[in-house]
Amino acid sequence: MDPQFDYIFELFTLLIGLAVAEMLLGFSRILKLRARRRAGIDPAAMRVKVGWLVPILGLLVLIDLATFWSIIWTMRGVLDMRMATIFGVLVLIGGYYLVATLVFPDEPEMWPDFDAYFWQQKRWVFGGMLAINLAINLTGMALGASPEGAPQISPATHPVFVTSVLMVYLNFPAFAWLIFTRRARVSLALMLFIIATQILYALSSWTIAGLV
């Protein structure tokens, strides 16, 4: 690994670590809220309906953060220590941290229905994720980034992996659809689709040496 990349990657790791911590804190608040509601010790918690939209969104952001980390890792051979690089890392990862802070409400008791919170924040969250994912993928393509020692892959040798890659590219229109849809079932289906495609990609690349 380029020694210069170590400094950039440390900055990246710090920011993405904060984003992951923010997501885990959101899940922790929900679990504590459920505990207080079941114990009957918090009247405000008794009135809160969590639903599925916000927790699934939190899971989606966590998985996409892992994918985002892997893309940055493949760029370790083409990134160097320049001001433009540091600025780009701050914009992309800082933007993702900002997105992560919008997924869960800071004070769950103030939102009797988490679905209402989801509909207020979803355009910012999905719009930010779409913009950041497009930016990092286009940057990687422009710089010619690829995993070191990656094998030649074709549909004949790795059909499941190639299929998973094609399905991952469908995430971009899925994110765009999520920005504008107002239907809960459509939102859930699209989020689960993105999660499934990224898990399939991770599993199909597991046995291919040189890939992350």
Confidence of residue 90 (pLDDT cuts 50, 70, 90): confident
The average pLDDT across 77-83 equals: 67
Average pLDDT over residues 108-137: 91
Strand partners, 138: none
Helix (H, G, I), strand (E, B) or coil at 49: strand
- Say what the pLDDT of residue 119 is: 96
Q: Taking 60 as the threshold, does the pLDDT of residue 150 lie above it?
A: no
Q: Which of 34-43, 144-153, 178-187 has the lowest mean pLDDT?
A: 144-153
Indicate whether 146 pLDDT > 60. no
The pLDDT-based confidence of 33 (bands split at 50, 70, 90) is confident
Residue 49, phi then psi, degrees to nearest 5 = -110, 115
Q: Residue 123 above 90 pLDDT?
A: yes
**45 pLDDT exceeds 50?**
yes
With tokens 């990349």, the residue in question is 5
Model confidence pTM above 0.95? no
Across the range 41-62, mean pLDDT stands at 87
Tell me what pLDDT residue 128 has.
Answer: 94
Mean pLDDT of the chain: 82
- What sign does the CA torsion over 205, 207, 211, 212 have? positive
The pLDDT confidence band at residue 148, using thresholds 50, 70 and 90, is very low
For residue 125, what pLDDT is reported? 96
Residue type, 152: Q
Percent of the chain with pLDDT over 90: 38
Mean pLDDT of the region 136-145: 72
pLDDT of 24: 94
CA distance 212 to 67: 9
CA distance 166 to 85: 29
Q: What is the mean pLDDT of residues 154-173?
A: 79
